[in-house]
Amino acid sequence: MSTPENLLQTPLHDLHLRLGARMVPFAGYSMPVQYGEGLVAEHRHCRAAAALFDVSHMGQVKLIGENAAAALETLVPVDVIGLEPGRQRYGFFTNASGGILDDLMIARPAADAGLGELLLVVNAGCKTADIQHLQTHIGARCAVVPMPERALLALQGPQAVLVLSRLAPGVATLAFMDAAVFEIAGASCFVTRSGYTGEDGFEISVPQEHAVRLAETLLAQPEVKPAGLGARDTLRLEAGLCLYGHDIDAGTSPIEAGLQWAIQKVRRPGGARAGGYLGAAALERQFSVGAPSKRVGLVGVERVPVREGAVIVDINGHHLGKVTSGTLTPTLDQPIAMGYVPVNRAQPQGEVYVEVRRQRLPMRITPMPFVPHRYRR
């Protein structure tokens, strides 16, 4: 299968082709959207066993220097200083109005890991802007070092720990959001017990020259099958997880998005290190008086899928908001979606309507996740 010359390739590109992947452009990369068995089979296999995803298009960046944590706290409303070695935390860069520039994972490797003070994983479509943002605002306080020489694999599913502990027994001791270095398939890997599917699993940062051997070793395990971007999207939607550029963006605040749980007490109004980041005044105001809209989960009353961009209205056709993600869920066999509505219309079990091909389809507001998370706490 030919690939447009202007698309970047991950270190696993040729392996994807050998495995029969259908490749599509995504965030400037040629990426597998699905393999021969198809999206639904890959989705269900991840829920039942273990699926391997190539997420090497994501940006990996290390911050070096004893001031790195304090410096990063000027760009994120997250407790970075209190992050213990061997732990990871979800966060987001905010802008001056409190909108989300990107969401990211922040890990503090052990001191002897050789990976700097902090290791960040940012979204592929934002990584160039994110690196510039870091260098501009905190580059004088710590070294901002992109890591294009590393690949990133995600092994997800209830049998992921069984698979990975065959190769590195110590990974079984990790709890959700723990992070440590392990030797796997002859490579030194930085492993976090985390992922984007709602299932137990691991994300594995590996030097790119070892990525193919690691992937082939994992795929040789009987529980593991490859999965593409299509299944990754339906899995994260069932888990109620946001996709940057769709469910959250520079015009969306973390409070509107329901992500205030990721702002620890120490960084909230009245906390010991409240404020001090871009957009702090706007977010502190929303903590006090509330946000005008709220991200909600929607389940279709009728079995018709709804897609991103569909308009949400009330029974009289008055505009309420729009759908930001939607699918026909392989696990529940129901239409599910996420979208934004005014706070006073966001009550669970409330009924709204979504306009699809000149029809108004009833949907019910429901708590998320749609499918329960199965992280190892």
> What does pLDDT average to in each consecutive run of 10 residues of the chain (377 residues)?
74 98 98 98 98 98 97 98 98 98 97 89 98 98 98 98 98 98 98 98 98 98 98 98 98 98 98 98 97 97 94 96 97 96 96 94 97 96
Q: Which of 195, 186, 188 is nearest to 217 (CA)?
A: 186
- Cα torsion angle, 89, 92, 96, 98, sign: negative
Report whether 142 contacts 153 (CB < 8 A): no
The predicted pLDDT at position 115 comes to: 86
Q: Which of 198, 200, 231, 250 is nearest to 368 (CA)?
A: 198
Euclidean distance between the first and final Cα of the chain, in Å? 42
How many CB atoms neighbour CB 96 within 10 A? 10
The predicted pLDDT at position 1 comes to: 40
Give the list of residues 6+ apart from residue 174 with CB closer than 8 angstroms, or none: 180, 191, 192, 193, 202, 376
208 phi/psi in degrees, rounded to 5:
-60, -25
The predicted pLDDT at position 345 comes to: 95
For 47-156, where are the E strands, in sequence order?
Answer: 50-54, 59-64, 87-94, 100-108, 118-122, 143-146, 150-156
Quickly name the fold that domain 1-291 has: Gyrase A; domain 2 (3.30.1360)
Write out the CATH class of domain 292-371: mainly beta
The predicted pLDDT at position 244 comes to: 98
How many CB atoms neighbour CB 372 within 10 A? 9
Question: pTM, whole model, 2 decimals?
Answer: 0.96
Domain boundaries, the chain: 1-291, 292-371
The predicted pLDDT at position 353 comes to: 97
Q: Which of 161, 153, 165 is nearest to 207 (CA)?
A: 153
Looking only at the bridges linking them, the beta strands covering 50-54 and 224-226 are parallel
- Per the rule left: phi > 0, alpha: psi between -120 and 50, beta: everything else, 349 is left
Give the list of residues 6+ apart from residue 344 with CB closer than 8 angstroms, or none: none
- Cα torsion angle, 182, 185, 186, 188, sign: negative
The predicted pLDDT at position 229 comes to: 98
